[in-house]
Structure formats: structure tokens, C-alpha cells
Structure 1
Amino acid sequence: MSNPDEHVDVVRAESPRGEVVLRERHTERGPSVLELRVNGVFVMDTLETSTERALATAALAQVERPRAVVVGGLGLGFTMHEVLADSRVERCAVVEIEEALVGWMRDGTVPHGPALLADERVQVVVADVAVALAEARPASYDLVLLDVDNGPGFLVHDANAALYREPFLRTARAALRPGGVLVVWSAAQAPELEAAMAAAFGAAEAHPHPVRLQEREEHYWLYVARVPGPA
């Protein structure tokens, strides 16, 4: 019988940013759980996916016609899954910097991956999201959902700190159509992020989302900023 605390590495890869590992974690109360770690930092697992779904649901609710959406960060695909569940979405570009992770989603190492990536509305871009948005056609998206870290206080890579500062946030704004929305999720309150988004967009809002983690009541945060104009 497997130890309930046992972790087994399913696959691992090295990239210029360090090590990417997909682990299987056995639990006493249900099926095994897949867990993604980058450079030893927990990114997400298949057990607790409510934050990814909340990010997508909250963002989609902000725009009347979210035809074209960018998801920054593939993870294990749950944010993308929620975006694709909305029939208003015609195009979803998912930007992921780790090529190995995209491969694991495509080849079934992540079991639900192939079905998600087979959706004809999906385009996967292997790139830094900052570069991808800088190269995007101006005013071409209705939503940008940033889900590459656990927020500015819990970075997967130190270089990601730039994604929460005004210069990049202005780049994101330029890629959005009038009425378009940027949503960033954070595991903790991030007033500096809210201030940077307000400086880039003119205004920003922080939305707390209650969650229950390991028998504790916690809050995650969604930071929202909108380009002025019709939705």
C-alpha cells in the first residue's frame, strides 16, 4: 500500500530557468494528485483548482463579449479549461514559457491535457508572456488573465517581478481593446500591484475570494483593471 505522504516524480525537465517537475502525490481519501513544481516552488496541483477557475470566471464576467482571451501561464490547464467553457470565447491564446510543460499536456503525461489542447479555439505560444504581449497586435484582445505565479509575493522566477510593475502592465493594456480587462490573481493581498495597475490603467480594483485550505479559512485576491471604452 502506498504511503499517503508519498511523492513520486512522474517526469522532470531542465530549462534555462531551472527544474520543472511533475509529481504524483498519493492521498488517503481519493485518487492520486498531480502536482507541478518549478525550481522547488509549488505552482499548483489537480486537487485544489478553485483559484484558477475563480480567476477565469471573474474575468469573463467583466466583459460582455470576451471573444479573444490571453491566458498567461498554462499550469495544468484549469484556467484555460474554464475560459473554454464559455461559449462567447472564440479564441484563447495560452502563453507558457516552459516548453516541457506544454509537451506534457500534449502527450498525455497530464491526462486531461490532450483534450483541452485539441480545442480548435486554443493557440499555445511558448514564450515569456511579457514578450508575447509586447509583440501582440495592439487592441487585439478582450481579456488578459495573468496566472504565472502565486502573486507578486510568491514568484516562481525572480524575473517575474517585472510582470507586476507598471511598464509591463502598460504593455498588457496596449494589447487590450477598449473595454478590455486585465485580471491578475494573487495568493495574498498586494497593494503595490493594485497601485501599479491603477497607474497603468487609470483605476484598479481588488476582489477578495474566500477559500478553505486544509481546514483554514483564507482569502485569495483578484486584481482587475479595465481599458476605458465600451465592453
Structure 2
Amino acid sequence: MGPEQTTGEIARETSERGELVLRARADGSLELRANGVFVMDTVETSTERALATRALQLHDSPATVLVGGLGLGFTLGAVLDDARVSRVTVVEIEAALVAWMRDGTVPGGDLLSDPRVTVTVGDVAEVLRTSPGSTYDVVLLDVDNGPGYLVHDGNAELYEAPALQQAMRVTRPGGTVVVWSAAEAPALEATMEATFGRWRSEAVAYEVDLQGRAATYWLYVGHV
């Protein structure tokens, strides 16, 4: 079902980044839009889950995890499904998304009330800059659609060397920094190479049915 086939608006909030709208579809699923641009829904969630599942598979003991981007909670949920995880910090810049999940507008209040979870409302780039070094085993950055498909232009810095260097700094030796992208990103590849030295890219979620079209997504993994 395409994003235009909605039954009504559930919630709307405006921030300095613009307008965030949550809508319901006839089948009961939810759709999130930012400034009129489709961001995500509750129908096709395999990529969000795959980001977390695959990233955690790459670490022998991912006890402490930073998740950049709450969204509708599916990445966080997959992180919490891993019994090895003892502490998760999730950073979401849109206070409305956190509030909607806490009050039940968006399902997932149980995720935020999990004792392992700390929620920070703010810019993940700033959180990376101000966090102590060697804090996390795994850093997952899923704040936008990748460097080539930005919802908010301000997120471009998260795919550039300064932010990735900070992500590397806050990751413990032997850990990983994992960046999600909607497509192959040659510029990001070059930045990963320059920043981490040891890195890899891999396709996940082949032939995903997103709004009636097939798509393949990419993970960029930096090894610390």
C-alpha cells in the first residue's frame, strides 16, 4: 500500500526542522512523514531490524549499544531482542517521536521503559562529540536514508569524517560502527576507508517491497 492511501492524521508536531506527521492507513498500519516526505511505516520494517541484527552478529559481546535514531522503534526492538545487550542508549532528535511512543500514539512504550534503555532527545552528532571515549561496543547510525537520500540536509555531517571519527572514538577496541544507507554510497566508502582503515559494506534485505517497488539496502561497517 502506498503512502498516499491513508485514512487520517493521528498526530502532528512542528520543530525547528519542520513538520512531523503521523498518519494511519486503512489496514491499521502507521506512516511517518517529515515535511511531506515519506520516512517510514510499520509495514516494511525488515531493514530496521536487519541493521540491528546484523550489526550485533558482528560482535562477540555487544553489551553496550548506541542507537542513533528511534524512528518507530524497530531497530531498538531488535537490539533489545539480543540477550547479550545490557545497556542501550537511543538518541532521537525529534522529541515528538519519543513522546508519541511514551503515550501510546506509536506502539513501543515497553521498549522505552525497558530498564536497559536510556533515551536522549538531541542530535546524535552532538552526543557523539560529548560522550566519553570507549563507551560503546556497537554504534548504530540510522538517522536518515543515507548520504544520497537525506530527509534533512543537516544530517549530511553524520556521514562525513568528523562525525565518524567521533563515533570511532566512543567505540571500544574490537567494536563496530554501523551506518545504514538506502543505496551504495561511494563517498561514504571513501570516508569509511580514511576513518577506520578496516571496514566493510554489505547488502541487506534483498528485494524489499517498499511502496510497491523492490529495493536493496546497505550497511557500512567500521571496525575499531
| TM-score above 0.5 | yes
Asked whether the equivalents of residues 41 and 156 of structure 1 are also in contact (C-alpha less than 8 Å), the reply is yes
Q: Where in structure 2 are there 5+ consecutive unaligned residues?
A: none
The one-letter code sitting in structure 2 at the alignment partner of 1:33 is S
The counterpart of 1:185, out of the listed 158, 168, 180, is: 180
Counting only pairs closer than 5 Å after superposition, residues 1-231 of structure 1 correspond to structure 2 as 5-26=5-26, 31-110=27-106, 112-209=107-204, 210-213=206-209, 216-227=213-224
The one-letter code sitting in structure 2 at the alignment partner of 1:34 is L
Q: Where in structure 1 are there 5+ consecutive unaligned residues?
A: none
Q: Find the residue that maps to 1:58 and give its secondary structure.
A: helix
| Post-superposition CA distance 1:61-83 (Å, at most 9, x none) | 11101010000000000000000
Give, in whole Å, the separation in 2 of the partners of 1:128 and 1:215: 32
Q: Find the residue that maps to 2:114 and give its secondary structure.
A: coil
Taking structure 1 as the reference length, the TM-score comes to 0.91
Give, in whole Å, the separation in 2 of the partners of 1:154 and 1:8: 26
The one-letter code sitting in structure 2 at the alignment partner of 1:125 is T
Give, in whole Å, the separation in 1 of the partners of 2:115 and 2:65: 14
| Post-superposition CA distance 1:102-160 (Å, at most 9, x none) | 100100001x2211111000000001000011111100100010111111111121011
Give, in whole Å, the separation in 2 of the partners of 1:170 and 1:95: 18
Structure 1 residue 216 displacement after superposition: 4.6
Structure 1 residue 44 displacement after superposition: 0.9
Structure 1 residue 5 displacement after superposition: 2.2
Structure 1 residue 6 displacement after superposition: 3.1
Q: How many residues align?
A: 219
Q: Find the residue that maps to 1:150 and give its secondary structure.
A: coil
| Post-superposition CA distance 1:181-214 (Å, at most 9, x none) | 0111111111111111111111321101213315
The one-letter code sitting in structure 1 at the alignment partner of 2:15 is S
The one-letter code sitting in structure 2 at the alignment partner of 1:212 is V
Question: Stretches of 4+ moved more than 3 A in 1?
Answer: 214-217
Structure 1 residues 215 and 8, CA gap change in structure 2 (3 angstroms): closer
Q: Percent identity?
A: 58
